[in-house]
Structure 1
Amino acid sequence: MTRIDLNLIRTFVVLYEVRSVTLAAERLFVTQPSVSHALGRLRELFEDTLFTRSREGVQPTFVAEQLYDTLREALTRIEGAVQGVRQFEPATTERRFRIALSDLGEMGFLPLILERLNREAPRAEVEVLPLQVDQVGDWLASGKVDAAICRPPVPGSRSQALIREHYVCLLSEDHPRIGTRLDLPTYLGERHVEVTRSSGHGSAEDVLKAMKLERRIALRVPHFSVLPKILPGTELLSVLPAQIACMFAAEGGLKVLELPFEVPAFEVSLHWRASSEKSAALEWFRRTIAEAIIDGQRC
């Protein structure tokens, strides 16, 4: 095995990551038969089936598991070297960029990012992957995503702080008992909407527990995105990051008040893998993301 087509390595890596011939074809911009043909050649080269069919798609064999890290690293290095010497032109690029975002990121940051990209690189494509904090480090290292935006640190990645955030209270603008200020007894006396802790935003609840205080929960929901539909015209209160709260309030029917107790502020950062810094395209992508979000802060 002295000559290996680079496209075969790329097909192997993508198929390993997505575990689906259909998804691999979509990501590689080829047909499913092309992926199947490439897989056949890979099986001949490595004298192994590499992937077996399952109800969920395809599963790697032991040999494929052993090959993946080496081939992924080799592919990343080769692509980085090629991209590093190419001149990147945003106005004409048709490149696909991949970014991992939480549901809050999709609501608050994605419109800002797309507005900037549509202006500077109208033919570029963006693919958004739902953020999984426990996997994003591996996604960056393997090249599954080019960048990620999240609150927690990502071990092994480079990062840039984008905004410093804090939590606020969001409620109906015509709440019958709350005007322009909110004190602690009033806050505790009202009923609340809680966004489940799986969202990664449980700091306010932690502070209240440390103070041995408890709020009355009327509704628990998994995502912040439903709040603009739920809160107007009710007496319910909710806690969320200020950027999103201000965006929701700007749509009408809601107002934003500071919390009557102190919750630590936090930074939201952009993360990327160090090896991608050699790519002019990815350097431009990161810079564009950062500028769009920093320039677009609402409050």
Structure 2
Amino acid sequence: MHGIYEKDLDLNLLRVFVVVAEAGSVTEAASRLYLTQPAVSAALRRLASTVGSPLFVRAGRGLALTTRGQRLFTSARPLLQALVEATVSPAAFDPKTSERTVRIGLSDANETWLLPPLLRALDEEAPRMRLVVIPVQFRTIAEALGSSAVDFAVTVADELPADTRRLTLFWGGFVCLYDPRHARIGKRLTRESYLAHEHIIVSYNGDLRGIVEDALGVQRRVRVSVPMFHSVGALVEGSALLATVPAVVAREIISLRPNLRTTPLPLDLGGAPTELLWRNTVDDDEAIRFMRDLVVRVVKTVRGPEQTPQT
């Protein structure tokens, strides 16, 4: 590439050359290019000087290509046409034939319920497209989007750069997950009972602080801290441990472990929106837009996430 730039060739000269070759006349070419005849003639002289050989000879009232000019015309014309088409007519995206790979950031709370129906929909509508799933959460999403590690993401997020587009998919709350065969919580889980029990927490920092500690400043009796929600169901089942998890996560866990139950929390954690997030630089990427739209449709179809009332 350095050799190309060292030639210092103005590609506009090639455009002038091709039009003159097609028209066979400087006068006609000047009319087509909306230039003056002296400007067209000057461009031809500059190009001939760069090439190091005459490109045209006089032929009656017009011009004819030299052998060198004919070779250049044969090579340059299709390339210029391809450049024009690439500029004004971007390639159409067809999900049925596209082989694009899209990188989607998913929090572990959303991966289990969203990914299976998304893949089924993808199999029907875009069978050749592929997904690369990258784990993200509210502390890492800004960097993942900013570095283009992901094309878009589905997660809970805080403040993000101004060039981030955000679409709320649903509002979700938290519930208490437990095994009624071992955890005795009574007819209604009270604050005292909740704090008296031992807990499983999910901590992205690798410590003993979870959502309750961070949001309310209340310290629970933590028996085990895990980095993701995937193992929570297995740890709760068969134990007296409580787990405070998003309602949508609890529903997925119970679908696999029907002995488990949920109950409203005795603490008000409020709710947070799970959002579809992407940078405005990929707004015009049809493949990424298709995948985002597919996520929105899947969310509406599965109706998974619904806001859980808090007590």
User: How would you bin the TM-score normalised by the shorter chain?
Assistant: 0.5 to 0.7
Residue type matched to 1:226 in 2?
A: S
Find the partner of 2:128 among 111, 120, 123.
Answer: 123
Query: Would you say the 8 A contact 2:168–2:274 is kept in 1?
Result: yes
Q: Residue by residue, what CA displacement relative to the aligned partner does 1:19-53 show, whole Å, maximum 9, x if unpaired?
A: xxxxxxxxxxxxxxxxxxxxxxxxxxxxxxxxxxx
Q: Among residues 234, 252, 261, which one is paired with 1:255 in the alignment? A: 261
Aligned to 1:171: 178
Aligned residue among 194, 201, 204 for 2:201:
194
- Counterpart residue type for residue 214 of structure 2: D
Q: Tell me the distance in 2 between the aligned counterparts of 1:236 and 1:83.
A: 62
Structure of greater relative contact order (alpha carbons < 8 Å, 6+ residues apart):
1
SS in 1 for 2:205: helix
- Report the residue type matching 1:127 in the other structure: V
Between the two proteins, the alignment pairs up a number of residues equal to: 221
Counterpart secondary structure, 2:303: coil
Structure 1, unmatched stretches of 5+, are 5-77
Q: Which amino acid aligns with 2:155?
A: C
For the 8 Å contact 1:199–1:223, the answer to whether it is kept is no
Identity %: 30
Q: Cα distance, 1:178 vs. partner?
A: 2.6
CA distance in 2, matches of 1:266, 1:292: 20
Amino acid at match of 1:193: I
Q: 1:228 to 1:91 in 2, by over 3 A?
A: same
Instruction: Return the alpha-carbon distance in structure 1 between the equivalents of residues 255 and 88 of structure 2.
Output: 41
1:5-25: CA deviations, max 9, x gaps? Answer: xxxxxxxxxxxxxxxxxxxxx
Provide TM-score, normalisation by structure 1.
0.65
Quick one: structure 1 residues 248 and 180, their matched pair in 2 at CA, closer, same or farther if it must change by over 3 Å? farther
Q: Does 1:267 align with 2:273?
A: yes
Which has more radius of gyration? 2
Deviation digits for residues 52-77 of structure 1, max 9, x if unmatched?
xxxxxxxxxxxxxxxxxxxxxxxxxx
In structure 2, relative to structure 1, the CA distance for the partners of 1:226 and 1:84 (3 Å cut) is farther
- Give 1:106 deviation, angstroms: 2.2
1:87 to 85, 92, 100: 92
**Corresponding residue number in structure 2 for 1:203:** 211
Matched to 2:211, the amino acid is S
What's 1:181 paired with? 188
Give the CA deviation at 1:141. Answer: 4.3
TM-score, with length taken from structure 2: 0.63
